Structure 1
Amino acid sequence: MRVALCLALGIAGPAAAAPSCLPDLPPAAIQVGPPGGWTPYVARALRLQSVSVLEGPPAEMAVLKQDASRRVSGGRIDIWRNLNSAREPKWLACNYGAANEVMLARPLAASTRSCRVTYRQLRGRPTAIDIACD
């Protein structure tokens, strides 16, 4: 079964200054192309679960490990550094669904040096995710 996303992020090209992820993917944004005879139904929005940085396009699944990750009161902070020093372009990946079933990714500007993702959590689940890249 094929799943496609039809979603306008409203973000300019790779040079956009402040990358961000949508907090939820609404059901209308998720299109399922089932085999003949099946009718798709998406019951509810998929919630943003995590953010990652990729080296190269999403199909390569080259997820970079954070340079630092620390727990803070009410959440966690993940940091990636020296992003502009490698060969491959870097991508910001927004991961949706309880097990990160859907990823939306976009290239970061070539000049991006670092990204910091702050998770605010309640009972172990992200309630807000803030992204700052420079």
Structure 2
Amino acid sequence: MISFVSILSICSEAFASPQRIECPKVLPDKAIRLQATADGWKPHKSAPMKLNSAAPTGGPPEMQADLAEFTTTRSKTARTDVYDLRPPNPDGVWIKCGYGKANEITLHKRLDTTITRCTITQNMSSASEINILCT
């Protein structure tokens, strides 16, 4: 027999309002601290660190818990990855935004515990155009 709480849980998941998540398009200068080295080398950042990728992870950044299970569809103009994020996720689900051509620097943010699915669409002609929609 299905309880009222079970039905409420199923309905709330089915009708969860979409949450649009936006990674900063460029990594803010104050997010990177460059310091001179002991050997006399002087660091210099010659170009902005632009957004290159986005993906959910199965925990905070120190866990390096990239999620391998997702489906991908491609069109002539975009790539779309869909992630099923239903529990269990004991360390929470986080979104990771990668900056630089090889994601040399990443920003991470914990997502709401009610999120069970994220769809990430990346424009093929402009890597920094990424649309993240989670429910």
By the TM > 0.5 criterion, same fold? yes
Could you tell me which runs of 5 or more consecutive residues in structure 1 were left unpaired when the two chains were aligned.
1-16
Matches within 5 A, 1:1-134: 17-36=19-38, 37-122=40-125, 126-134=127-135
Structure 2: distance between partners of 1:131 and 1:56: 18
What displacement does 1:65 show?
1.7
Count of residues in correspondence between the two structures: 116
Higher relative contact order (CA 8 A, sep 6+): 2
Match for residue 5 of structure 2?
A: none
Q: Find the structure with the greater CA-based Rg.
A: 2
Structure 2: distance between partners of 1:127 and 1:42: 19
Identity of aligned residues (%): 28
TM-score normalised by the chain length of structure 2: 0.76
Structure 2: distance between partners of 1:44 and 1:116: 30
Structure 2: distance between partners of 1:76 and 1:63: 18
Structure 1 contact 84–111 (Cα < 8 Å) conserved: no
TM-score normalised by the chain length of structure 1: 0.77
Structure 1: distance between partners of 2:48 and 2:80: 25
Structure 1: distance between partners of 2:107 and 2:128: 19
**Tell me, what secondary structure is at the counterpart of 2:34?**
strand
Per residue, is there more strand in 1 or in 2? 1
Could you tell me which runs of 5 or more consecutive residues in structure 2 were left unpaired when the two chains were aligned.
1-18
Per residue, is there more helix in 1 or in 2? 2
